[in-house]
């Protein structure tokens, strides 16, 4: 499958059209951004690590019955996937308080939440990705009805359960993460985007060492080494 036309370029990926109108290629970039693009950098090899980690997780979720856009991995940096109409809601799933949740609500860092928290943000860089409630989603026509929001929440919690169990086998805690959904050519809501440490907070079970993009946000260094450690643990699980 060959790239034909650049459809979109975001912070972490380029999206290309192909000769098949129903299939796209995501090219994972080495660029890094944080704080709505205010902090920028690049780490060689980061894109390939994100592609490989996302590949493993998409395959795992598909085995568990989660509908996704994933089709195949072309090479280190390129993934073939279904074209989907993006639902402009960033779905935030939280198991442990940290980051903005601790800052905004005063919940102590590393507090284990009494239940999985699912939040919605508006996927809109110009507005700074503000928080959404159900009525906002309907007013903005991001979904057709509340049943779709209920389904997205259900899928987010199901994915959280599956990935938390998956990572627990690797001695990694899933702290929080961001998901995106879209509609395929038949109108079905499916999981899209990526499943990488760019979008997840992952902590070592024993040491709470950060294995995610917080290493860049907080100036800790060693980002690609942390991502490679995540990939190594995933691949060693399969041996």
pLDDT along the chain (239 residues), means of 10: 94 97 98 86 96 98 98 98 98 97 96 98 95 98 98 98 98 98 97 98 98 96 97 88
Length of the chain: 239
Classify residue 210 by its DSSP letter: B
> Residue 183: which H helix or E strand, with range?
strand 172-183
Q: What is the pLDDT of residue 36?
A: 76
Crossing angle between the packed helical segments 46-63 and 146-168, to the nearest 10 degrees: 110
**What is the phi-psi region of residue 103: left when phi exceeds 0, alpha when psi lies from -120 to 50, beta otherwise?**
alpha
55 Cβ contact partners less than 8 Å away, ≥ 6 residues apart: 70, 73, 79
Alpha-carbon distance 76 to 52, whole Å?
7
- Say if CB 49 and CB 37 are below 8 A apart: no
Output the CATH code of domain 3-82. Answer: 3.30.200.20
Looking at the domain that runs over 85-222, which CATH code has it been given? 3.30.470.20
Q: What is the pLDDT of residue 238?
A: 67
For residue 239, what pLDDT is reported? 61
User: pTM (2 decimals)?
Assistant: 0.96
pLDDT at position 176, please? 98
3-state SS track over 70-137 = EEEEEECCEEEEECCEECCEEEEEEEECCHHHHHHHCCCCCCEEEEEEEEEEECCHHHCCCEECHHHH
Cβ 3 vs Cβ 20: under 8 Å: no
Identify whether the C-beta of residue 163 lies closer than 8 Å to the C-beta of residue 68: no
């Amino acid at each position: 499958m060959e790239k034909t036309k650049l459809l979109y370029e975001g912070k972490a990926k380029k999206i290309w059209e192909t000769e098949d109108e129903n299939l796209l290629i995501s090219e994972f970039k080495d660029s890094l951004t944080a704080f709505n693009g205010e902090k920028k950098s690049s780490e060689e090899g980061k894109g390939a690590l994100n592609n490989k980690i996302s590949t493993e997780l998409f395959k795992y979720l598909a085995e568990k019955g989660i509908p996704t856009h994933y089709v195949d991995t072309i090479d280190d940096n390129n993934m073939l996937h279904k074209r989907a109409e993006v639902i402009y809601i960033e779905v935030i799933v939280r198991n442990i308080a940290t980051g903005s949740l601790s800052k905004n609500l005063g919940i102590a860092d590393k507090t284990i939440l009494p239940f999985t928290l699912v939040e919605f943000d508006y996927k809109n860089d110009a507005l700074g990705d503000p928080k959404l409630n159900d009525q906002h989603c309907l007013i903005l026509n991001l979904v057709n009805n509340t049943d779709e929001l209920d389904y997205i929440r259900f899928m987010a919690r199901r994915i959280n359960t599956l990935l938390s169990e998956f990572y627990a086998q690797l001695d990694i805690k899933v702290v929080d993460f961001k998901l995106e959904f879209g509609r395929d050519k038949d109108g079905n809501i499916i999981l899209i985007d990526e499943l990488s440490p760019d979008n997840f907070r992952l902590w070592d079970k024993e040491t709470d060492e950060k294995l995610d993009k917080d290493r860049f946000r907080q100036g800790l260094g060693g980002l690609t080494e942390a991502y490679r450690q995540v990939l190594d643990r995933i691949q060693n699980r399969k041996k």
